Structure 1
Amino acid sequence: MASGLTHEQAEALVQSHDPEHPANLICDLCRDFYKLGWVTGTGGGISIRKGEHVYLAPSGVQKERIKPEHIFVLPFAQSSLPKPGSQRDFLRIPSKEGLKESACTPLFWNAFTMRNAGACIHTHSQHAVMLTLLLPREADSFKISHQEMIKGVRLGGVGKTLRFFDTLEVPIIENTADEEDLTEGMAAAMEKFPDAPAILVRRHGVYVWGNTWEQAKTQAECLDYLFEIAVKMLLAKLPLVGDN
């Protein structure tokens, strides 16, 4: 559902010379994430909430080639909470033919509403995927401790930072055929694991959030490091938790 804004007002939402403007940041960050292998093949994405506006990368496009004019803008206050198949309220819809909002929209809203996050990042990191395959099939979470990079991760993604001796725990949910259908599983895991800064999706990737885009990015990088070293530790038959 489009807003009552004029074309000029809607376009002004994504036009800025400020490199910190969400429409510019999403493009820059997606290029950085592409180089890391996190958003290749059109997968993955990011959403930034600024005040009462939510900026959203489009779905099914080359993330390293996104431009500000491709960004969707939604009001945070929706007529109904975004869920699979629901209609969204839009402040701006890109004019380029074929663009559609990110399939991750209702999952991003989980982070915004349940954690009051300011940004949420979704990656298809191979480290995240491999970790979910190496852990026991019955495991509903990943745990690790005594790693320096844990200190870059926050309780619940938005609280105080963890300490070296703390145990980080990230829940794992099962993948679904359609991205939107992960919404309820993600929400349930966030309720069960209130201190978790992210959600791993088996055979798929990870969702990470933070108070700001900077914190979300920092945590995504720290977590990816921890996922990678955990994979190596598991292959070397080293314990993930404890003083190693």
Structure 2
Amino acid sequence: MSGTSAGRRIGTGELEAAGRALAAEAARFAGMGWMRGTSGNLSVVLDRDPLRLAVTVSGLDKGELTSSDVVVVDGRGAAVTDQPRPDLVPSAEAALHARIAEVTGADAVVHVHAMAAVLAGHWFPDGVPLRDLEMLKGIGRAAHDETVVVPVVPNSQDMDEIAGAFEPQWDGRTPGFVVARHGMYAWGQDLAQARHHTEILEFLLTFATETRALR
């Protein structure tokens, strides 16, 4: 297929491989209860000049995706015109995935509705402070003598609003943020690292919410 007339040709096999990887990760997160029903979405960068991402489709059970349940979107999150399956619709959050990939340089983005993130956004609307926890190493931060604040932004149906709220808070190092009463986004250099960051952030957010009364 042709992702764009101006950019590199994105082959059907490449898109199928991306879809297969995304479906496997979605099934994993669905099994953990973080992508209930049709909630949540994932993406991987296919090209950067111009920006193109493979994003999971909207409206399907994330535990039952197949390699063909992906859509190629541009840097604004809109489906490109030349698609193998033009009937498929990208996730509503595709624009935010594209913005995260552009701003952070990440090649994979994960959005899940883990309860720990929803609760953390409720209890820590100004950001989730974390300190002196060994698991901070898993997101590339120091385990001691450094306070890490995971950004929390208000929820919105406008992805530009969420991006606009996140970017001023991001310290350039923490690979994730919370959307209040919604869920969290995490990212990495590939899907495996994005998964690891998601799992570690969920652990850290769980700790923060369960110990909030002691702070």
Q: TM-score range by the shorter chain?
A: 0.7 to 0.9
Identity across matched positions, percent? 24
Q: Equivalent residue for 1:242? A: none
Q: Deviations over 1:142-190 (max 9, x none)?
A: 111111111101xxxxxxx2110122211111112x3xx0333323322
CA contact (8 A) 1:11 1:92 kept: no
Q: 2:138 aligns with which of 131, 152, 160?
A: 152
Structure with the greater alpha carbon radius of gyration: 1
Structure 1 position 168 matched with structure 2 position 148: yes
Q: Equivalent residue for 2:166? A: 189
Unaligned runs of 5+ in 1: 16-20, 154-160, 240-244
Runs of 4 or more, structure 1, over 4 Å off, are none
**Structure 1 residue 119: deviation in Å?**
0.6
User: What's the TM-score, normalizing by structure 1?
Assistant: 0.76
- The DSSP-based 3-state class of the residue aligned with 2:214 is coil
Q: 2:44 aligns with which of 44, 48, 60?
A: 48
Letter in 2 for 1:222: I
CA contact (8 A) 1:110 1:187 kept: no
User: What's the TM-score, normalizing by structure 2?
Assistant: 0.85
Q: Supply the distance in 2 between the matched residues of 1:194 and 1:91 (Cα, whole angstroms).
A: 37
Q: Supply the distance in 1 between the matched residues of 2:169 and 2:119 (Cα, whole angstroms).
A: 23
CA contact (8 A) 1:13 1:73 kept: no
Q: Taking structure 1 as reference, are residues 212 and 91 closer, same or farther at Cα in structure 2, changes over 3 Å only?
A: farther
Q: Supply the distance in 2 between the matched residues of 1:29 and 1:116 (Cα, whole angstroms).
A: 20
- The DSSP-based 3-state class of the residue aligned with 1:101 is coil
**Structure 1 residue 92: deviation in Å?**
2.3
Q: Equivalent residue for 1:59? A: 58
Q: Supply the distance in 2 between the matched residues of 1:126 and 1:183 (Cα, whole angstroms).
A: 24
Q: Equivalent residue for 2:189? A: 211
Q: Supply the distance in 1 between the matched residues of 2:20 and 2:121 (Cα, whole angstroms).
A: 33
Number of residue pairs aligned between Structure 1 and Structure 2: 205
CA contact (8 A) 1:72 1:90 kept: no
- The DSSP-based 3-state class of the residue aligned with 2:22 is helix
Q: Taking structure 1 as reference, are residues 106 and 31 closer, same or farther at Cα in structure 2, changes over 3 Å only?
A: same
Unaligned runs of 5+ in 2: none
**Structure 1 residue 73: deviation in Å?**
2.3
